[in-house]
Amino acid sequence: MNLYIKIGLSALVMLFFTSCDNEEYFELENPPQAPWQSLNDLEKAPIGAYYGLTGNGGSRTIFGVGRLAGEAFADGVNIAPAADGFSVDNDTEDLYNRTQAGNQVGLFDNSIFNSGYFAVGFANGALDFIENANNDPFPEANRPDEVARIKGELLFVRAYAYYWIARLYLPVYPSDEKKIPFRVNQATNFDEAIASPLASANDIYPLIVEDLKAAKELLPEKFDPALHPAPYEDGRVNKFGAAALLAKVHFHMGNQTEALSELNFVIDQNGGEYDLSEEPIEAWNKSGIERGREVIWYYTLWAGDGLGGSSNWKHPTRFSWYSAGNRDSDDPSKNGARFVTASESFLKQAGWMNADGSENPDALNDKRYTQLFSRFESGADPREQFNTTKPYVWSNKYYRSGVRRSTNLPILRLADMYLLRATVNALNGNTGQARTDLNMVRNRAGLGDFAGTDGDLLEAIEMERMVELAFEGDRLYYLQGLKKDIPNGDRGAGSVPYNGNFYSEVPDYEVELNQGYTN
């Protein structure tokens, strides 16, 4: 999303957010007009909603912190120790130690709670506007297809925002514990604004599904310059993006038949727009309107924050915590924030590390290891302030374009879809198709076909997914979808229940303001 929002954003913010803090707003004799007076104006609505996802500041985005949580709670990472010179964020250390239960995770509040509801608010206001006009607010434009496309984007953004809010503020689905504000319309008066009803996972996930199903129906399959404005080409979602997220949500809910239908649609009916024909690194080294062949939806950073000038503060900086490269440079020596490293447990399971910590030669046969990870031997970290006492392997997926703070962020990828379909088919006994999909991903990585038995197939798919989606925040939520306990990794032997307390309490300021918590 290039975020072409120099005009209109302030009006959107005033209409949707500052109003909730000022009762007099609702009592004005001549309240402000809707910020959309034409179809061209309405195009700013989804841009504002996407903008909401990026939060207030470069580090405060759903994209960065959501991924960090999915990794830190699971078994694929470890915290580089202070003894080797690394500093650690307290919230991240709490996540890794799984000691956040019953507490607020401050790291989530701005990045997930505020950003998520910021996006929900933008989407709700524009959706209400469209609905109140019977889905045709500008009949003189004679472009119902464009209104449908805009509505589809708004529904998708609302679903994506609630997807992450639910993951990080609610017990795992299914659960009827009502904990988070539930908004599907814009507040029309002060009392309504400060008394949001509360929702559980059992409330939120069906809404996400319905929003994504509607978005899939409304969105085009791809950008068409003869039909769509230029900004729609740049990191905005289409029909396949909605279907891909819908597949992941269905899987998490245990709706395997529905998930399989969406996965088949994305993989088999995309008209050649998405495939695994490129090297793994090609998903991670693009900027501007470029994308790797497998990337279904991405967040683009190349135009800074979209508010004018050359500011780059909308760049998600959290990835620097576990990336070999830095957001300002691809030179590892300039990344002072790095401290979330690949766990030895993960590296050994992947066959990339021997029992003594040395590099397994087989690792060099896997293109993901050679292209998307960086290993530094003991004492060989290029930064002088660190005196490492063991080897470290860092993710090297982020900040790969070679242009300062410009690398696009893949969010939905085809490899994810293949491996998810492999899982669903393996669970349902269709081992032939499961092997085919697993081998598609393995072969792209330079590996041979899986040669194990059908009895080992599901475990092989899980391991392949752990490798393929490492440092993308997937591991915890994939295992929760399988209702499989979360291994301890480098923490020691054993595991913890998949439905444990892997979420934060709602911020105090929301509880104090929202009368829904006391009604």
Per DSSP, the three-state class of 102 is: coil
State the pLDDT at residue 273: 97
- What's the fold here for domain 9-74+102-219+498-519? 1.25.40
Distance CA 91, CA 94 (A): 5
Question: Roughly how many angstroms between the first and final C-alpha of the chain, as a whole number?
Answer: 39
Pairing assessment for the beta strands 180-181 and 198-199 based on DSSP bridges: antiparallel
Nearest 10 degrees: CA dihedral of 179, 180, 186, 188? 40
Q: CA–CA distance from 470 to each of 48, 306, 310, 374, 497 (Å)?
A: 30, 30, 32, 13, 21
pLDDT at 301: 61
- Of 422, 419, 509, 426, nearest to 109 by C-alpha is 509
Lookup: tokens for 188: 């029309």
Query: Which pLDDT value is given to residue 369?
Result: 98
Provide the CB-side half-sphere exposure for 469 (13 A, CA): 29
Task: Determine the residue type at 98.
Answer: R
Residue range(s) of every CATH 1.25.40.390 domain in the chain: 9-74+102-219+498-519
Q: Find, among 28, 38, 30, the residue nearest to 8 by Cα.
A: 38
- pLDDT at position 499 is 97
Low-confidence ranges of the chain (pLDDT < 50): 1-28, 302-313
User: Which of 2, 79, 183 is CA-nearest to residue 394?
Assistant: 79
pLDDT the model gives residue 3:
36
**Secondary structure class of 178 (helix, strand, coil):** coil
Give the number of other CB atoms < 10 A from CB of residue 389: 11
Do 486 and 492 contact (CB within 8 A), yes or no?
Answer: no
Q: Which residue has the tokens 């290039």?
A: 2
**Amino acid 188: pLDDT:** 86
Residue matched to tokens 């964020």 = 89
